[in-house]
Amino acid sequence: MRNIWIVARKDLRGYFTSPIAYLVMAIFSAIMGYMFFSLLNLYVLQSMQFEQLRYGKGPSFNDSLIRPIFGNMNVVLLFIVPFITMRLFAEEKKNNTIELLFTAPIKMSQIVLGKYLSALLFVLVLLLLTIPYPIALSVAANPDWGVIAMCYLGTILMIGTYIAVGVLCSSITENQIVAGALTFGTILFFWIIKWASYNASPFWSDLLSYLSIVDHFEDFSRGIFNTRDIVFFASSIGLWLFLTYKTLESYSWRS
Partner 1 sequence: MIEVQALSKFYGTRKAVDELSFNVEKGEVLGFLGPNGAGKSTTMKILTCFMPATSGTAKVAGYDVFEQPLEVKKRVGYLPETPPVYKDMVVLDYLIYAANLHGLKKAAAKNAALEAIEKCGLGGVKGRLIGNLSKGYRQRVGLAQAIVHRPEVLILDEPTVGLDPKQIIEIRGLIKSLAGDHTVILSTHILPEVQATCSRVLIINQGRIVAIDSLDAISARLRKGNVLSLVVERGTSDLVGKIQSLPGVASVSNPERADGGHRIIVTADESSDIRSAVAKIAFSSDAGLLELKRESMSLEDVFVKLTTVEHSI
Provide the mask over 63-102, with x wherever binding to partner 1 is found by CB under 8 A and - wherever it is not. --------------------------------xxxxxxxx
Find the largest Cα–Cα distance for the chain: 71
Member of 55, 56, 57, 103 binding partner 1 (CB under 8 A): 103
Shortest approach of partner 1 to residue 173 CB, angstroms?
A: 18
Dihedral (CA of 67, 72, 78, 84) sign: negative
In the three-class reduction of DSSP (H, G, I as helix; E, B as strand; rest coil), residue 131 is classed as coil
Contacts of partner 1 in 146-205 (CB under 8 A): none
Say if residues 151 and 131 touch (Cβ distance below 8 Å): no
Say if residues 175 and 90 touch (Cβ distance below 8 Å): yes
Shortest approach of partner 1 to residue 116 CB, angstroms?
A: 17
Query: Within 10 A of 192 (CB to CB), how many other CB atoms are there?
Result: 11
Spell out the SS3 assignment of 186-204: HHHHHHHHHHHHHHCCHHH
What residues have CB less than 8 Å from 228, skipping those under 6 apart?
A: 216
- State the number of binding residues for partner 1 (CB under 8 A): 24
- Indicate the residue among 114 and 160 with the shorter CB distance to partner 1: 114
Does the footprint of partner 1 cover residue 107 (CB under 8 A)?
Answer: yes
Member of 35, 106, 129, 208 binding partner 1 (CB under 8 A): 106
- Indicate the residue among 9 and 222 with the shorter CB distance to partner 1: 9
Contacts of partner 1 in 6-65 (CB under 8 A): 6-7, 10, 13-14, 17-18
- Indicate the residue among 67 and 115 with the shorter CB distance to partner 1: 115
Say if residues 134 and 143 touch (Cβ distance below 8 Å): yes
Q: Which positions touch partner 1 (CB under 8 A)?
A: 3, 6-7, 10, 13-14, 17-18, 95-107, 252-253, 255
